[in-house]
Amino acid sequence: MQLETKLVQSGVGKDERTGAINFPVYYATAYRHPGIGESTGFDYTRTGNPTRAILEEAIAAAESGDSGFACASGMAAIHTTMGLFSQRDHIIVSLDLYGGTYRLFEQVLTRYGLWFTYADLRDLDAVKSAIRPETKAIFVETPTNPLMQITDLREVALLAKEHGLLTIVDNTFMTPYFQRPLELGADIVLHSGTKYLGGHNDVLAGLIVTKGTELSEKVKFLHNTIGAVLGPQDSWLLLRGLKTLALRMERHQSNAFAVAQRLLEHEAVTEVFYPGLSEHPGHQTHASQASGYSGMVSFRVRSAEQVPVVLQNLKLISFAESLGGVESLCTYPATQTHADIPQEIREYVGVCDRLLRLSVGIEHPDDLTADLTQALDASLVTGGQLR
Active site residues: 46, 98, 170, 195
Q: 357 vs 64, 124, 171, CA distance in Å?
A: 30, 27, 18
Please say which residue, 152 or 234, places its beta carbon nearer to another protein: 234
What's the min distance (Å) between Cβ of 222 and another protein? Answer: 7
Give the DSSP letter string of 240-306: HHHHTHHHHHHHHHHHHHHHHHHHHH-TTEEEEE-TTSTTSTTHHHHHHH-S---SEEEEEES-TTH
Measured CA to CA, the distance from residue 299 to residue 265 in angstroms comes to: 12
Please say which residue, 233 or 291, places its beta carbon nearer to another protein: 233
What's the min distance (Å) between Cβ of 197 and another protein? Answer: 12
Give the DSSP letter string of 161-215: HHTT-EEEEE-TTTHHHH--GGGGT-SEEEEETTTTTT-SS----EEEEE-SHHH
Write the DSSP symbol of residue 105: I
What's the min distance (Å) between Cβ of 199 and another protein? Answer: 10
What's the min distance (Å) between Cβ of 286 and another protein? Answer: 27
Angle at 195 between CA 190 and CA 220, to 5 degrees: 30
H/E element, 309: helix 306-313
Question: By the 8 A CB rule, do 96 and 144 touch?
Answer: yes
Measured CA to CA, the distance from residue 237 to residue 25 in angstroms comes to: 10
Q: What are the beta bridge partners of residue 118?
A: 93
Please say which residue, 61 or 229, places its beta carbon nearer to another protein: 229
User: Where along the sequence are the contacts to another protein (CB under 8 A)?
Assistant: 27-33, 35-37, 43-46, 71-76, 78-79, 83, 86-87, 100, 103-104, 107-108, 111-114, 194, 198, 201-204, 206, 221-222, 224-231, 233-234, 237, 307-308, 311-312, 318-322, 325, 329, 332, 335-336
Residue 54: CA count within 13 A, CB half-sphere: 30
What's the min distance (Å) between Cβ of 50 and another protein? Answer: 13
Please say which residue, 292 or 295, places its beta carbon nearer to another protein: 295
Please say which residue, 58 or 75, places its beta carbon nearer to another protein: 75
Please say which residue, 275 or 324, places its beta carbon nearer to another protein: 324
Please say which residue, 200 or 283, places its beta carbon nearer to another protein: 200
- The pairing of beta strand 115-119 with beta strand 329-331: unpaired
What's the min distance (Å) between Cβ of 282 and another protein? Answer: 27
| Rounded-to-10 torsion of CA 146, 196, 59, 18 | 170
Residues 6+ apart with CB under 8 A from 203: 193, 194, 234, 237, 238, 241
Helical axes 245-265 vs 232-243, angle rounded to 10°: 70
What's the min distance (Å) between Cβ of 321 and another protein? Answer: 4
Angle at 2 between CA 41 and CA 168, to 5 degrees: 65
Residues 6+ apart with CB under 8 A from 382: 309
Measured CA to CA, the distance from residue 236 to residue 91 in angstroms comes to: 34
Please say which residue, 91 or 127, places its beta carbon nearer to another protein: 91
What's the min distance (Å) between Cβ of 307 and another protein? Answer: 7
